[in-house]
Structure 1
Amino acid sequence: MKKLKYKDEVATRYTAYNSLFLDLPYDHIYRTGTLLPILEQLSTQGFENGKDPVEIINQFKREILGDKEEKQLHQLLFQLIQYVERQVLLFDSIEDAAFEKIFNVEGKGSVKELIGRVRHTNKIEELQEKLKTFSVRIVLTAHPTQFYPGNVLAINTDLEDAIRKDDLASINSLMLQLGKTPFINKEKPTPYDEAVSLCWYLENVFYKSIPAIIYDLVEELEEPWEDWVNPDLLTVGFWPGGDRDGNPFVTHNITVKVADRLRETILKCYYRDLRAIRRRLTFKGVENKILEAEQHVYNALYGDKSKGFKQPEELIDVLREALHNLRNEHKGIFSELLEKFILKVRIFGFHFSIMDIRQDSRKHDALWEDILSNEDDKSIVAQYEKMQEEDKINHLLSFNSLPHDVSIYNDFHQEMLKSFDALEEVKKRNGHRACHRYIISNCQSALHVMEVFQLARLKLSSDAYESLDIVPLFETIDDLANASGVMKQLYEIPAYREHVKNRGDKQTIMVGFSDGTKDGGYLRANWSIFQAKEALTEISREYGIKVIFFDGRGGPPARGGGNMHDFYASLGSKIEDEEVQVTIQGQTISSNYGKVGSCRYNMEQLLSAGLENHLFESDNRMLNEEERELLSQLAEIAYQLYKDFKGHDKFTSYLGDVTPLKYFGDTNIGSRPTSRGKKGELKFEDLRAIPFVGAWAQMKQNIPGFYGVGTALHSLKSKGKGKDVKQLYRDSLFFRTLLGNSMQSIAKSFYPATAYLSKDEDYGEFWQLMKKEFDLSKDELDDISGKKGILHEAPVSQASIAIREKIVLPLITIQQYAIQKLREGVKDEEIYKKLILRSMFGIVNAARNAA
């Protein structure tokens, strides 16, 4: 039924609207549009018949251009790339316009469906109690993988609206605009540019979606507006401007500038709302209060800031005076307008979004070495290096102030120290909620946490320090395994335990899916994270601490993406789930949270998933010992295979020489370097997860999303445990979701495009390893799901992926053609490099969660 609906609302419409491109009055567009299906057909048939990309493109050249020079061919290929880019955006717009018709927005996972079940099971009081403390935080990160520049995203929004209304004239006009609008950024964005881009989503999507969900809850539960005690039920986090990990362009000045932009953006939203409210509340004693609020917000924005509101509580006080008068003197007419607006101010404050500061633990190590080397006793560094970890921590805690003036440290370390000043300034300007976390990436020890803890004590005022959460981020397989031991050590340090107590006996811990998968492969990473969360929950409960898990996820399954509702609904009682916190980035922001409808749907999915664990206990969320043993065996087998693959002597060189990895830095989509290491030096440990996963996605090989899954499943089957694994698949929502997300990675793979590499002198054997595991994984996943086919439980995703892959097939052929020509050795390398780079845009955009 869903597949049929999708065909009517998306596939058929795309076919109709796509034909409009041919009528646009641009040079070559008709020719390009009519030649594109020829290349698509040649690609489909060619790959089926075992032809390589160069053979396919050469055949295309012979049939279309005859004896014309290569220059004409390359010109045509660039025109085809541009045409496909616009087809992809059109398809995005059509899918977005059909969102509410394709997905049942009031079905499974929605607030309405949840409350219906709660009423049916007489659990309203339990829900009301849980809503007082529960929270979902969507954290928008500074890792963009969205290749559309802002002006193209604006066209996408307008086009979606026109398609929704079947406004053919507007559609035609927008496609006319689309034909002439560049799809690439000429310059790399700054961290501030990234923040401004994401502010668009805050202002136009989250500002509408979050209050709407809470309004529905208040009304469904029939609670007075003033009794809603949890304005933090749904919040948005923000990394641009605060995430320093590997980004030298993020400075303390940028942090403050971004915070100011967030404050300015929310005040603009309030100002618009107040002007609209004043048009209704024209009553004596009420209008003047609304006008007073409006004027103070205006002053805080544009006028004499000394006469503007400094804190949201000041605005709320004026609004409550107006509300009191409205109820007492005017029978509460239109009072809901004010009640809703007051709740909105309580939700967003003057900070709009909660900024996080993040830095790599190795940078803190180096900073403390610099600090210690400036002590009066110059031998202290050598002594410190020989100390046990506990002694090192005690030594750091013995400092009452930083030795000497900070100006004596090197420039980078001075900047690191100034990040604490920036954190304090943001708190001062926008409130304590505005910036209350310092995240330590690559955290491997209690010392790494205490280094930041002591810096915060020495640099921050008591108020800022006491309202700061220090968050370790555990990423690699080894770090995840050691995480509970690290936290136990921390909880036994009196100074740190006292700090956690002052933070409400809550400890936030971040786990990184992206680097976990990169380090240990798909199954091992996901199972390691699951086990780490159980162990961290257990040790935290022993010390009377409630742990808050913050999941560092990317878009694709290889980086923790995929179906998140089922993932969070499957955790069980051994994993603390007081809050759901998750990073959202790149295309996942625009595709899942880019419109009010899709944003509401996906936020409600996360909200209901988290609440379900408390309200509806289910056996399929709890793993018994036999099931845990099966998962451990599967994870270990997959891990060993992935480790061997990663240790292959061609692994790193393949990424550097064959895949488009090296071109990610030239795409001008993000401010961060693609690697933490030195430029030109490719080391696996320095590779960032986005270009790592993205490179495999460009090759349509998607290694991080499935490698080892097939071998693990087949191995247990050969040991007579096939029935047990199938039973686990039926009974465990966690395992079913894990494999379902891996199916998505396989559905987006296309190995025939790179089959020519099987004969490559350097990488033939390496490619065969990948292809063998791909075939095995596909077969085993098909078998475990009852031979219903990949993604059988997600018909909409299945249909969407199929169409998107068909649209982008010509780009895959062009990109692989260019890669193949470069490997053969050509004179004009630059033109082929440009073909690779330009093809990347459409391939990534079509996938919507490619990196």
Structure 2
Amino acid sequence: PSLALGNEASAVRDCYRVLADEIAQHGTAGLGSLIISMTRSLSDLLAVYLLAREAGLLQVTEAGLACVLPVVPLFETIEDLEISPDILDAFLAHAVSQASRSLRQTSVQQVMVGYSDSNKDGGILASLWSLYRAQGTLAAVGAKHNVRVRFFHGRGGTISRGAGPTHRFLNALPAAALAGDLRMTEQGETIAQKYANQITAVYNLELMVAGVTEATLLGSQRDQTPHSLAPTMDALTAYSRQRYESLIQTPGFIQFFGQATPIDVIEQGKIGSRPARRTGQRTLGDLRAIPWVFSWSQARFFLSGWYGVGSGLAWLAEQQPDQFAQLQQAAFEWYPLKYLLTNVSTSLLSADLATMQAYSQLVEDSAVREPIMAAIEAEFKQTQQQLELIFGGSLAERRPRIYRMLQGRQGRLQQLHQQQINLLHTWRSLPSEQIAEREQLLTQLLLTVNAIASGLRTTG
């Protein structure tokens, strides 16, 4: 008990002691779960039990040591989603996990899945399909242990972070992953849009309850065998992810991202619960997914919401024309595919090629700027072409509501974008010792960030 643990372990243990004191006074009803971000091994979960024991959160039962609070894995990256079934299988079989469920008298194991980091790693197609695949397999692992898996969806306020119409999201879930209930986060500007007053809050909660009920009942009637397009989606995902990764791994891409978007301004804004970077390193891997998506949307790239999809579809049409034809036919009948294509089309409509090109001029090195911008422009046009082929018409005709909404705001948004570009150029060129001038410009830049986000309404 007197052993010095070090700052990080002591901080976690002391936090758990606060929880133990709360439980001693009031019980566990007011507390949630111990969610383990970036779960990548069984040890990541078992380490929590070790720290919980030191803080008094474990009890001795007939079945052995048991934790009074549930331990919940959070699988975030594509690699983590791929290995998640093996981790959950080992966790559910572990004696402490079993004793803990017995203590809490439940046969439910919560599993959290993250949309943001999987999207940042591999693009929207790889993210959504990996999540779909993982949930089906994880539900089967739970059934093997007579445990019902309750999925906790870490969705953000923009499409690249899992947002989208609630009913489409629910219908696109694997039937086995929705057994009457789920948990879900609402983040970003969607909090104000959906829950700012009682009328809209009740309305949106009613939509959620009705949607979960409908999706559960209809899902129980559907054929549970894998869709015939599943192998095609696996191949399409692999190619799309390869194209996406080839872009973000291009030499100079970090420089392009840092200069063509207002990421340096966003990092200065005090608008988030966590810092923009996990450890402060100037690398893509260290950057959190929220500022990654937010900065691309500010510059109207919306890159993580569509890049890689067009080239993937074009590859499929060339290499496997029969499967492409089947995909075209299923695009509006098979909910997971419909949800994916609808979200991609929304991201594409929200993007604006002329605005992208204007922001790209902020990249000082033409040897970096020109090849990367050329790749983005080519993929943008190819994605638009492939979607219009599948939709059977232009996106403006097939998605008229969002097209009209964005067109109605485009004139004012262009003024804001140009103002932000001018301010970025001036602010970045000022010497660091001109502190007062830089602070004044930063305030104006942060106002443009807020104004553009309000105008787009799909940035959070």
TM-score, with length taken from structure 2: 0.89
Q: Deviations over 1:512-560 (max 9, x none)?
A: 1001101111100111011111111111101101001001111111000
Counterpart check, 1:589 vs 2:198: no
| Whole-Å separation in 2 of the counterparts to 1:791 and 1:466 | 55
Counterpart check, 1:712 vs 2:312: yes
Q: Deviations over 1:710-755 (max 9, x none)?
A: 1111211223133211112022112111111121211211121232
Counterpart of 1:807? 412
Tell me, yes or no, if the aligned pair for 1:706 and 1:745 is still in contact at 8 Å.
yes
Task: Please provide the CA RMSD for this pair.
Answer: 2.5
Counterpart of 2:163? 561
SS of 2:272 mapped into structure 1: coil
Counterpart of 1:478? 79
Counterpart of 1:131? none
Query: Judging changes above 3 Å, is the alpha-carbon distance between structure 1 residues 489 and 463 closer, same or farther for their aligned structure 2 residues?
Result: closer
| Whole-Å separation in 2 of the counterparts to 1:790 and 1:706 | 17
Query: Judging changes above 3 Å, is the alpha-carbon distance between structure 1 residues 412 and 614 closer, same or farther for their aligned structure 2 residues?
Result: closer
Counterpart of 2:69? 468
SS of 1:434 mapped into structure 2: coil
**Aligned to 2:302, which of 702, 724, 732?**
702
Q: Deviations over 1:564-615 (max 9, x none)?
A: 2212123243324342211111201001222323222322222122212332
| Whole-Å separation in 2 of the counterparts to 1:600 and 1:409 | 47
| Whole-Å separation in 1 of the counterparts to 2:387 and 2:221 | 24
Larger Rg computed on CA atoms: 1
Amino acid at match of 2:185: T
| Whole-Å separation in 2 of the counterparts to 1:671 and 1:726 | 42
* Aligned-residue offset at 1:624: 4.2
| Whole-Å separation in 2 of the counterparts to 1:425 and 1:809 | 55
What pairs up with 1:311-350 in 2 under 5 angstroms?
Answer: none
What pairs up with 1:388-403 in 2 under 5 angstroms?
Answer: none
* Aligned-residue offset at 1:832: 5.6
Amino acid at match of 1:760: S
Query: Judging changes above 3 Å, is the alpha-carbon distance between structure 1 residues 737 and 653 closer, same or farther for their aligned structure 2 residues?
Result: same
**Aligned to 1:780, which of 386, 393, 401?**
386
Q: Deviations over 1:481-515 (max 9, x none)?
A: 00000111112222222223334121111111001
SS of 1:684 mapped into structure 2: coil
Query: Judging changes above 3 Å, is the alpha-carbon distance between structure 1 residues 621 and 580 closer, same or farther for their aligned structure 2 residues?
Result: farther
Query: Judging changes above 3 Å, is the alpha-carbon distance between structure 1 residues 822 and 459 closer, same or farther for their aligned structure 2 residues?
Result: closer
**Aligned to 2:17, which of 400, 421, 433?**
421
* Aligned-residue offset at 1:835: 4.5
Counterpart of 1:845? 454
Tell me, yes or no, if the aligned pair for 1:556 and 1:745 is still in contact at 8 Å.
no
* Aligned-residue offset at 1:426: 3.6
Q: Which runs of 5+ in 1 are unaligned?
A: 1-403
**Aligned to 2:2, which of 405, 425, 428?**
405
| Whole-Å separation in 2 of the counterparts to 1:833 and 1:462 | 49
| Whole-Å separation in 2 of the counterparts to 1:668 and 1:836 | 13
Q: Using CA pairs under 8 Å that are at least 6 residues apart, name the structure with larger relative contact order, 1 or 2.
A: 1
Query: Judging changes above 3 Å, is the alpha-carbon distance between structure 1 residues 601 and 631 closer, same or farther for their aligned structure 2 residues?
Result: farther
SS of 2:395 mapped into structure 1: coil
What pairs up with 1:55-204 in 2 under 5 angstroms?
Answer: none
**Aligned to 2:333, which of 731, 750, 754?**
731
What pairs up with 1:500-649 in 2 under 5 angstroms?
Answer: 500-503=101-104, 504-617=106-219, 624-649=226-251
Counterpart of 1:764? 370
| Whole-Å separation in 1 of the counterparts to 2:308 and 2:371 | 17
Tell me, yes or no, if the aligned pair for 2:116 and 2:160 is still in contact at 8 Å.
yes
Counterpart check, 1:690 vs 2:296: no
SS of 1:579 mapped into structure 2: coil
Counterpart of 2:63? none
Q: Deviations over 1:669-720 (max 9, x none)?
A: 2342111113xx3111111111110110111101111111111112112231
Query: Judging changes above 3 Å, is the alpha-carbon distance between structure 1 residues 802 and 620 closer, same or farther for their aligned structure 2 residues?
Result: farther
Tell me, yes or no, if the aligned pair for 1:740 and 1:791 is still in contact at 8 Å.
no
**Aligned to 2:89, which of 473, 478, 488?**
488
Tell me, yes or no, if the aligned pair for 2:13 and 2:54 is still in contact at 8 Å.
no
* Aligned-residue offset at 1:451: 0.4
Q: Which runs of 5+ in 2 are unaligned?
A: 61-65
Amino acid at match of 1:418: D
* Aligned-residue offset at 1:625: 4.2
Counterpart of 1:438? 34
Q: Deviations over 1:365-411 (max 9, x none)?
A: xxxxxxxxxxxxxxxxxxxxxxxxxxxxxxxxxxxxxxx325x2333
* Aligned-residue offset at 1:820: 4.6
**Aligned to 1:455, which of 39, 51, 54?**
51
Amino acid at match of 1:562: G
Amino acid at match of 2:422: Y
Q: Deviations over 1:307-353 (max 9, x none)?
A: xxxxxxxxxxxxxxxxxxxxxxxxxxxxxxxxxxxxxxxxxxxxxxx
Amino acid at match of 1:845: S
Tell me, yes or no, if the aligned pair for 1:520 and 1:643 is still in contact at 8 Å.
yes
Tell me, yes or no, if the aligned pair for 1:472 and 1:510 is still in contact at 8 Å.
yes
Aligned residues: 443
Tell me, yes or no, if the aligned pair for 1:548 and 1:579 is still in contact at 8 Å.
yes
| Whole-Å separation in 2 of the counterparts to 1:573 and 1:676 | 35
| Whole-Å separation in 2 of the counterparts to 1:597 and 1:669 | 26
Query: Judging changes above 3 Å, is the alpha-carbon distance between structure 1 residues 743 and 598 closer, same or farther for their aligned structure 2 residues?
Result: farther
Amino acid at match of 2:245: K
| Whole-Å separation in 2 of the counterparts to 1:622 and 1:511 | 22
SS of 2:267 mapped into structure 1: helix
Amino acid at match of 2:266: F
| Whole-Å separation in 1 of the counterparts to 2:84 and 2:312 | 26
